[in-house]
A and B are shown apart, each in its own frame.
Chain A
């Protein structure tokens, strides 16, 4: 599924349809009232066809005029020089009038180490240098030289500058590295745990982050935390079980196949993470894929378990499922126990058709979101949210008349 997926499996016509359906779905979510729509970056991947999130963000920028766009994000070390990211996010911020969130992941091993050939032992150093370069490029008010270990630029002068000053909010998607907790806490960056495995499994990771925030003596503002969660909401619980079973099982037992040999290249993890014995999200996905493969191998007659059942996925919290009230209760529990103010919902997973995606999206936006959207707003200020222009200059796409 990732890195060495057979190129012959790609069907350009399906690709064309898929890209446009994805854009339709994101634009639909924006129209339903989501605070933001998000895009991400993966390479050589049969499930995520988004090697360039900034291109998708650009496609969304004019058709989603009232919604923020979260690029979560650009794998900084893969850009040479990383100034390209500073420029493109600044362009997007200019087009949208300041509605951008800039996410900077290290990137998964499959994307960075194997698909893009980065050296695992120097990837994180290169990444941190790249983020530093981008932040300087956005904030310094003179042309400057950047003499980094990996990036040497005699003249740094990013045009355009971002609309948001000093720069768009920076969110850091993490997969469980303890050093990323430290860094986000020290630098006042949003830490987003993008787990496929739900809030029950993610609690320990978020607690690790908040512990680091407390050690810095800063306030544990929930808006400095983010989490991603699969959502399956319907009018009734029974309907939800019926509608989302197949796509959830297809995603977790087929799409989320990571070969164990790609999950943990030496050098990708920091020594502190190795020492702490923290299993990253990708490692967990690979471990579960390996277990499925071994079960299949040991039962050639086909009587092997195909992976997790949907009941287990819901019980473990991979998927929050139910009617709107049940889902709102679980989201409330998620947000309060993990202490997170930014929730990224996966409303499209597996092989859901576009009608089901729209249904899930609309149900969440209209019946769940209103119950949870102001959870922390009385107590905390969101310091990591886009600050668009009061009256951004927008223009509709002109109609073309052919005489």
Chain B
């Protein structure tokens, strides 16, 4: 029986979170291109699979995990934040195979995972065909289901500023993705903009035009313990989907609807989501 706690209110922001752990960035050869990953913290291993906002790099959420005693590895999926896009990605099958290859390359196979948004969808798909890919899973607002009576919003048929408002409850929470760094040289600013565009393109490639690819028929294969997290202010995936996932996944061990959080709840409430993950994965 799943233990549930909903809704989860904001935690008090106490000391320690603001002190960023030491980060390491790596680039590994991956097929004809490369794979980018960042890591931080010392302790038990945990993997973070990012969402539509890409791999955040030095970020409060990863630091919060690290400060909770985790050794965090965050690879960028193909085409996202610093990772090149292999030429062979035609469909979801290709993406899942690439993800399988990616976790081996990053050395995170079998570790617990916190996966968000499009990353959560990929993690679930991989878990259906490769049970040993992950240990326990914390899934933040996964894509993959579709209710015609309560459809997932289209995050692409909108302007960039509106998309920003859809991804987090507080637009300031996604500054690392949408805002250009101050004092960055002009040529690097251009590349920063291109990288942001490619990350948005990779998201679109994954979930266009309707983010439902039959996963509900495969979810009975997922035996991993799953903790579900959903931002109460998710403007893309309706809150009703939390119940749908809970009912359809075989081994849900926790369900959290987090107030004052949007689609990528870990950007709005980094410490609270890290606390949920720590509790679920410990």
Contact = CB atoms under 8 A, between A and B. Distances in A.
Contact of B90 (A3, A150, A261, A266): A150
B55 to A, nearest CB: 17
B125 to A, nearest CB: 17
Interface in A237-277: 260-262, 265-267, 269, 271, 274-275, 277
The winner among B79, B156, B194, B202 for most chain A CB atoms within 10 A is B156
Contacts of A197: none
A266 B204 contact: yes
Nearest to A117: B209
A121 B202 contact: yes
Given A122-B90, A261-B157, A266 B194 contact: no
Interface in A104-137: 113-114, 117-122
Contacts of B157: 3, 114, 261-262, 265
A266 B209 contact: no
13 contacts: A118-B209, A119-B205, A120-B205, A121-B202, A122-B90, A149-B90, A150-B90, A266-B197, A267-B200, A267-B201, A271-B194, A274-B193, A275-B191
Given A261-B159, A266-B200, A119 B194 contact: no
Interface residues of A, number: 22
Interface string A263-306: 00111010100110100000000000000000000000000000
Interface in B152-174: 156-159, 162
A121 B199 CA distance: 11
Given A262-B157, A266-B156, A121 B190 contact: no
Given A122-B90, A266-B156, A271 B204 contact: no
Contacts of B202: 121
B159 A119 contact: no
Most buried by A among B90, B162, B200, B204: B204
A119 B79 CA distance: 15
Interface of A: 3, 113-114, 117-122, 149-150, 260-262, 265-267, 269, 271, 274-275, 277
Interface of B: 79, 90, 156-159, 162, 190-191, 193-194, 197-198, 200-205, 208-209
Nearest to A3: B157
Given A150-B90, A261-B162, A271 B197 contact: yes
B208 A274 contact: no
A261 B153 CA distance: 13
B205 A267 contact: yes
B209 A119 contact: yes
A266 B158 contact: no
A120 B208 contact: yes
A160 to B, nearest CB: 32
Contacts of B156: 120, 265-266
A266 B65 CA distance: 31
B204 A267 contact: yes
A121 B197 contact: no
Q: What's the dominant secondary structure at chain A's contact region?
A: loop
Contacts of B158: 261
Question: Considering residues B158, B190, B197, B200, which has the most beta carbons from chain A within 10 angstroms of its beta carbon?
Answer: B197
A311 B191 CA distance: 40
Nearest to B207: A119
Contacts of A274: 193-194, 197
A3 B205 CA distance: 20
Nearest to B209: A117
The 5 tightest CB contacts between A and B, nearest first, are A121-B205, A266-B200, A267-B201, A261-B158, A117-B209
Nearest to A126: B90
Contacts of A122: 90, 205
Nearest to B199: A266
Nearest to A260: B159
Contact of B201 (A114, A149, A266): A266
Given A266-B203, A266-B204, 9 more contacts: A113-B208, A120-B201, A122-B90, A260-B159, A266-B197, A266-B200, A267-B205, A269-B197, A275-B190
- Which among A262, A267, A277 has the highest number of chain B CB atoms within 10 Å? A267
A317 to B, nearest CB: 28
Contacts of B205: 119-122, 267
Nearest to A114: B157
Contacts of B194: 271, 274-275
A266 B53 CA distance: 13
A65 B190 CA distance: 52
A231 to B, nearest CB: 34
Nearest to A4: B157
Contacts of A118: 209
Nearest to B205: A121
Contacts of A267: 200-201, 204-205
Contacts of B209: 113, 117-119
Contacts of B193: 274
